[in-house]
Chains A and B, each alone.
Chain A
């Protein structure tokens, strides 16, 4: 699966809001109220979308408290147990992975730069073996040196998905692990050198079970943030994560508050990418969404960590208030909101019936359902535009609907008068509910009658939409869904959702496309070592999926983000499509 966007854990009250994270600059929909030039403008650009591809309010001033907040708790601050984009972004202030994303605005932010490692990975054995050398003089907050063995332990540790349920499984799937290895806790004595070698304290060598040219993307995962075995307290490690970055945890009140202060053992000389400007961080959890927005507007808070955009109420304020408008950014994220069509359920086993849905769905209405122009651009493909190999696919309408073609498709399907089917959505996500309602309205126009069924997010994938047997038994044809890239390439976005070999019995995010042609393209792309060619292959796979009408892409997600008052060096990083949290400072 992909990096989660933090969604206010629906407290029954359905107060949740599902805005996406954000992506590279796209200015075709720049709204009204363009850039009110500030009188006492500091250096750097200002105005609407100024943070998309430039550093706003640049400064090297140190000191101050950076106040951040988030609407709900997140999965974990343990680098081995988190899958939230905001968390991957933020944890770099206290943890250093082997490599990381360049703290730079826009697309430059997607570039990988060495962090713990002296340089990016060195591939050998046809990209099956990757070697990294750690920098000299690295220390934890307690003064003990950081070694390559700690990195190895950290990576192996989080393979135990029974304990660390949240993180991704890339290392599980790609490392050449010995058969008898279960977990660092159960089988501590199994020799794991065939997967990861540490010939000395500075060197770490990864051995993959199949070649992968983009392994640096793995090395950038939080899983490579070092954890010394002696300090591992299992699941409780999240209560005191040992800092390798410039800040260390001071107060930890799970679900409520984290404060971080300077880590005096961190040495700027070992770290070319972090400026470490603020003296401390104050992170409040569980702040109510509207309250959070209002406090950022007033300057009481600096950053909404979730980075998924303001609540509907604040969207209007930003529209109406030029001063606020000038503080807003509207990046597009590497995330697509889409509606999957279940080819296991009649009549969607017939491509024409699937096409009928793709033609009949009102794209403009869907866009509005997902939050309007500021919340997303109408999607024409599964893969979002920020990803290499993306192409605009013009088979289906990109505004409104095409009822004539839908009817033709219905006739071709043998259901000229339409049919009935069921659609699921996450009941605590108003936008998905609106999308389902929109589908019901527009499909009714061509005779397709939808019954809507909402399920709570917490069980949506484990018990309903992510359980193919349930979907089949209950004849559920359509399901709302969303997917964001773990990193911005075709692998990072598509592999988990279109490859039929990753279909799961429960907790399934896969679209359920059992198309050998698609699987073949995925295999080809895995094997292709040339980046450009690989991107093209992913593009083809994307086109193939659309050709088969397996999915109705609704919008490429966008978020309306507010820059904090008095925050320096604030810009959108293309790596996470939200503000970069490494460079921030306070005036």
Chain B
């Protein structure tokens, strides 16, 4: 078990390394192939008032003329030991883990990311609880009442749910509930949980529901399918043959097995979500990681994009690992080797 975890952790690190290399290439190598020069890069970092000499100087200071490998090496080194950035008025220290230093905002990226994380975390945790509960409940009921009016209705709603883009449902919800009826918070409102839990929930309820609706629909479909499959398994028949009550058969034997894959998918989904619910955060103007990322992309703030990508990839890779470990706990057949 321990060796397995260690091996997986090393694998995860390697994976992150590859992700970082690919990301780095896309943003620093590919544009060069298109003829973008070091000074063009530097142009992004200087203000509009900068003269050409300033631009050249900045390019030099940032080492933008160095070979890409050297630049990448510098970036990696920064993660472990921190980096120094010389921007003229002194040397700015970007402590480890230094995932980059934004020359647009003149700030290290990492604290910014940490700053945005609680918002995304709030959104992800709240929404995922709602969609897990709602999706599984509806899915189980649907499976048990297969072919009934409820089943058909629920599945139509679920299929609609997965067919509705969150930026459409979000917009409708905002204009209906926030701006029309004024019963929910308008876009952009966020209060940290530590400040005022009630307000935190009030502000997030609409984003939660919007995000949860989409996923609840998908989970209802998954749960229903899994439940139908499980209830057709031989061991369910065995359980019935023992004379177990149907309710026990469903909850103890059926749900347990049907939920295992759902839980793992759930883990992965939450992992992906922690890296930023881009569409939801943008629709509701929530200052989370997803909004941060789109902002960074719009500003072509490469250090931010790099930092964000690494954090998001980290969550995904860790979610994979945790899900695998979890699976081993839930399903005794899985052996970690």
Please list the residues of chain A having a beta carbon within 8 angstroms of any beta carbon in chain B.
Answer: 1, 9-13, 15, 73, 75, 83, 160-169, 183-186, 232, 234-235, 254-256, 286-288, 290-292, 294, 313, 428, 456-459, 461-463, 466, 504-507, 509
Contact = CB atoms under 8 A, between A and B. Distances in A.
Given A13-B282, A165-B48, A463-B43, 12 more contacts: A11-B298, A12-B297, A83-B48, A160-B88, A161-B49, A161-B51, A288-B186, A288-B189, A294-B186, A458-B104, A462-B40, A462-B48
Contact of A288 (B61, B187, B301): B187
A505 B46 contact: no
15 contacts: A11-B282, A73-B105, A161-B47, A163-B87, A165-B46, A165-B47, A167-B49, A169-B49, A234-B92, A235-B92, A255-B105, A286-B287, A291-B186, A456-B298, A462-B44
Interface stretch (B52-60, B146-154, B268-276): B52-60
B285 A291 contact: yes
A234 B179 contact: no
Nearest to B279: A13
B50 interface: yes
Contacts of B145: none
Q: 9 closest pairs, A vs B, by CB? A: A288-B188, A165-B47, A234-B89, A12-B294, A163-B88, A288-B285, A462-B43, A291-B186, A162-B88
B88 A185 contact: yes
Contacts of A73: 105
B300 A186 contact: no
A271 B161 CA distance: 63
A505 B52 contact: yes
B245 interface: no
Contacts of B285: 15, 288, 291
B22 to A, nearest CB: 21
Contacts of B50: 161-162, 165, 507
Interface centre among B104, B186, B283 (most CB of A within 10 A): B186
A168 B47 CA distance: 10
A290 B283 CA distance: 12
A458 B44 contact: yes
A320 to B, nearest CB: 14
Contacts of B252: none
A366 B295 CA distance: 29
A186 B58 CA distance: 14
A232 B90 CA distance: 11
B44 A162 contact: no
A160 B186 contact: no
Nearest to A456: B298
Contacts of A1: 48-49
Contacts of B106: 235
B107 interface: yes
A155 to B, nearest CB: 15
A95 to B, nearest CB: 19
B86 to A, nearest CB: 10
A470 to B, nearest CB: 10
Contacts of B52: 504-506
B299 interface: yes
B51 A12 contact: no
Nearest to A458: B299
B221 interface: no
Contacts of A75: 47
B224 interface: no
Nearest to B285: A288
A133 to B, nearest CB: 30
A482 to B, nearest CB: 13
A185 B287 CA distance: 36
Contacts of B57: 162
A83 B300 CA distance: 20
Contacts of A291: 186-189, 285
Contacts of A185: 88-90
Contacts of B61: 162
A76 to B, nearest CB: 8
Contacts of A255: 105
Contacts of A505: 52
Contacts of A509: 48
Contact of A161 (B46, B107, B179, B186): B46
B40 A506 contact: yes
A168 B291 contact: no
B299 A165 contact: no
Contacts of B301: 458
A103 B36 CA distance: 47
Given A11-B294, A162-B61, A290-B187, A235 B87 contact: yes
A1 to B, nearest CB: 5
Nearest to A76: B106
A163 B61 CA distance: 12
Contacts of A456: 298-300
Contacts of A169: 49, 51
Nearest to A313: B179
Contact of A12 (B47, B88, B179, B282): B282
Contact of A290 (B44, B54, B186): B186
A184 B45 CA distance: 21
Contacts of A166: 47-49
A321 to B, nearest CB: 14
Nearest to A508: B48
B89 A235 contact: yes
A546 to B, nearest CB: 25
Interface string B286-305: 01000100110111110000
A168 B52 CA distance: 15
Contacts of A506: 39-40, 43, 52, 55
Contacts of A286: 188, 287
Interface centre among A12, A73, A162 (most CB of B within 10 A): A162
A225 B300 CA distance: 32
A183 B90 CA distance: 11
Contacts of A160: 88-89
Contact of B298 (A83, A165, A458): A458
Interface in B48-81: 48-52, 54-55, 57-58, 61
Interface in B255-283: 282-283
Nearest to B182: A294
A11 B89 contact: no
Contacts of A288: 186-189, 285
Contacts of B43: 462-463, 506-507
A222 B291 CA distance: 32
Interface string B10-50: 00000000000000000000000000000110011111111
Nearest to A186: B88
Contact of A10 (B58, B90, B188, B298): B298
A457 B299 CA distance: 8
A9 B89 contact: no
A456 B61 CA distance: 26
B40 A463 contact: yes
A223 to B, nearest CB: 12
